Amino acid sequence: MSDRYCVIGNPIAHSKSPLIHAAFAAAMGQDLIYERCLAPLDGFEATVRGLVDQGYRGANVTVPFKLEAARLATRLEPRAHAAGAVNTLIFANGEIVGDNTDGPGLVADIVRNAGVALKDKRILLLGAGGAARGALLPLLLQAPRQIVIANRTLATAERLVQDFSKHADKLAVSGFAEVEGSFDVVINATSASLASDVPPVPPTVFHPGTLALDMMYGNKPTVFMDFATLHGASVRDGLGMLVEQAAEAFVLWRGVRPDTAAVLTSMRQP
């Protein structure tokens, strides 16, 4: 029987993860089934336990269950522990292992796909929610010069920096409007684009050559990408990050790394 995996969320019908994992499995000759799994808002734990009982080998976790998944895991990998959030569960040997591949996926998309090295770079991270939290350690591991975290609710950004106090010399906090200077990379990890909002940062955060990445993706550029383009940045949406985080999860489950370029190209076809 094929090994079974799924992505758990609520809502979940829109998820592209089954397409991505089916493409990886076909390319790598791996015998697996990957489905969407809608969990009731108050039924995440019961859903996960049901999957374990049915012999599933693992699952991805998406909105709004990433924090609950971190609490449910019987063991957390260091990057999931640092993020306080889990997007990948591995069911093995009676354990529920939690990991977080969102941040590594983001870094892979910037460094490998966009060809932008992060060492000694100045990075502006907009947002301090789960996605920003997951991105922080993998970004720091690239040895940037500085990461400024700007958020609508300043206290949340301050808490995030406190949680990473070991790296305090590299981190700074700001309100959106108060961000100073320009940046080599600007990452929109807010969910503002969902509401067609742009975090109100000054346009001077961009300089020619800045890479502006919105973690959100859709059929057309987000309002943040339009804003960044207008001010001279080159832009990316979050589809590359999505494919790369899936590849990282595939490695954890199957022990082989799928090629992401062909899958990303096919996902971009209308």
The residues annotated with a catalytic role in the active site are 66
Residue 77, SS3 per DSSP: coil
Scanning 4-12, 34-42, 193-201, 254-262 for contacts with ligand NDP by CB under 6 A, the matching segment is: 193-201
CB 9, min distance to ligand NDP, A: 11
CB 171, min distance to ligand NDP, A: 16
Radius of gyration of the chain (CA): 18
Site residues (CB under 6 A) for ligand NDP, limited to 108-137 = 127-132
Q: Do 113 and 137 meet the contact criterion of CB atoms below 8 Å apart?
A: no
Structure tokens at 220: 């057309």
Site residues (CB under 6 A) for ligand NDP, limited to 217-256 = 217, 238, 241-242, 245
Letters for 27-56 (x = contact with ligand NDP by CB under 6 A, - = none) are ------------------------------
Scanning 69-77, 150-158, 202-210, 254-262 for contacts with ligand NDP by CB under 6 A, the matching segment is: 150-158
For ligand NDP, which residue has the nearest CB? 129
Residue whose CB is less far from ligand NDP, 185 or 241? 241
Please select the residue that binds ligand NDP; options are 194, 230, 256, 261, rule is CB under 6 A. 194
139 binds ligand NDP (CB under 6 A): no
Scanning 10-18, 139-147, 191-199, 226-234 for contacts with ligand NDP by CB under 6 A, the matching segment is: 191-199
Measured in degrees and rounded to the nearest 5, phi and psi for residue 122 equal -100, 125
189 binds ligand NDP (CB under 6 A): yes
103 binds ligand NDP (CB under 6 A): no
CB 94, min distance to ligand NDP, A: 29
CA distance to 152, 184, 213, per residue, from 190 (Å): 9, 19, 11
User: Among residues 2, 69, 12, 15, which one has the least CA distance to residue 246?
Assistant: 15
Print the SS3 string covering 91-140: EECCEEEEECCHHHHHHHHHHHHCCCCCCCCEEEEECCCHHHHHHHHHHH
Measured in degrees and rounded to the nearest 5, phi and psi for residue 15 equal -60, 135
Q: Do 73 and 49 meet the contact criterion of CB atoms below 8 Å apart?
A: no
Cis bond before residue 64 (omega within 30° of 0): yes
The rounded distance, in Å, linking the Cα atoms of 185 and 163 is 23
Residue whose CB is less far from ligand NDP, 146 or 156? 156
Please select the residue that binds ligand NDP; options are 9, 58, 199, 258, rule is CB under 6 A. 199
Q: Do 252 and 244 meet the contact criterion of CB atoms below 8 Å apart?
A: no
The distance from CA 260 to its chain's CA centroid, rounded to whole angstroms, is: 16
CB 72, min distance to ligand NDP, A: 17
100 binds ligand NDP (CB under 6 A): no
60 binds ligand NDP (CB under 6 A): no
Footprint on this chain of ligand NDP (rule: CB under 6 A): 102, 127-132, 151-153, 156, 189-192, 194-195, 197, 199, 215-217, 238, 241-242, 245
